[in-house]
Amino acid sequence: MKYKDYYAILGVERGASADAIKKAYRKLAQKYHPDVSKDPKGEEKFKELAEAYQTLKDPEKRAAYDQLGSGFREGQEFRPPPDWEKQFHFREGDGAARGFSFDDLDLGDLFESLSGRARRGGGGARARAAMPIPGEDYEVTVHLPLEDAHRGTQVDLALEMPEYDAQGGVRRVPKTIKARIPKGATDGQRLRLRGQGGKGMNGGRDGDLYLNIVLHPHPLFRPSGHDLYLDLPLAPWEAALGATVEVPTLDGRVALKVPPRTAAGRKLRLAHKGLAKPGGGEGDLYAIVEIVNPTVLSERERELFEELAKQSRFDPRGHFAEKSHGE
C-alpha cells in the first residue's frame, strides 16, 4: 500500500485544528473542482483533497491515520503496524476485517470502510467527488451620495455570475440584484447579502455578496463615521460681536448661534445634525469657523476699517514679543 500524506495534500500542519482543516479543504476544493478548474490535473487533485478531508475530518479516522506514523514519504510503499486494523472497526466483509494482505488495498478505500461510514453503492472516488461545495463569495463597490447614505436607498447591481450547465461547463450570465442600503451607511462599511453570491455545487450553500460602501465627496460636508464637518465662513464683525447665522444640514437649514469673540478654527457643535445611525438617532454636525475678510471695500467700509485700526488696541502678534522676552 502506498502512503499518502493527507496533511500535506491539504497544506496544514499535523496538529491543525478541525476548523483549520475544514477551511483549507474548502479553499482548495473550490480551486480544483472539475467544473471550474482549468488545471489539467484539477480533477485528480480534487479527488485527493476529498479523500484527505474525508479522513481527517472524522476524529476516529484521523486517529487511525495518525497511528500509521509520519516518517513515510509521499507514494512510499509501507505496511500498517502489526494488529493496527484490530484497534479499529471495519465493515463486516472488508479485507482488513478478514486480515488479508494490504498490498493491493488503496489507502483511501481503507479509510472509506472504517466504522461503516462509506457511502453504499456510490464508489469511493465518485462519492467523494460529489461532496457539497459552497458557492464563492463576491465583493462589489457601491458608490453613494451622502444624502442617500443618510436616508437609505435601493441600488440596482448589474453583475455577471458563473453558471454551470448540465455538462458541468461554466459560463458567465448577467444577474441584476436589487440591494436595499439601510439609512446610516458609512464610508468603508461592508454590507453582506446572504446567498446572493456564486451558486453552490452538489447541494452546497450559495455564496454571499459583500457590498463595500464608498461615499461620494460632498461639496459642503466631510463625513467621519456618523459625524459631519462643515467649514463655516464668518465675517470679522460676526466673529467678534457674535451673531446668529443659518447653516445647511442634510435635512435643511438651521440657525446657529455664534458666541462673541469666536476665534478661527473653533468647532461649533450642532447636536444630532449629522448622519443617521442604523439603530436610530444621528451623529453631530461640527461647524469649523473661518474668518473671511471682504475682498472689495466701498469708500465707507474703508473709512470704518481705518477708524477701527486707529482705535483698536488689539495686537494679533503680541505673543511674538512675549515669546522673544521669554527666550
Q: What is the pLDDT of residue 82?
A: 62
Indicate whether 323 pLDDT > 80.
no
More confident residue, 131 or 265: 265
Longest CA–CA separation in the chain, Å:
115
CA distances 109 to 22, 51, 123, 266, Å, are 21, 9, 9, 76
Q: What is the tens place of the pLDDT at every residue in 173-190? A: 788 999 999 998 999 999
Indicate whether 215 pLDDT > 90.
yes
- DSSP string across 43-77: HHHHHHHHHHHHHHTSHHHHHHHHTT-S-PPTT-B
Q: pTM above the 0.85 mark?
A: no
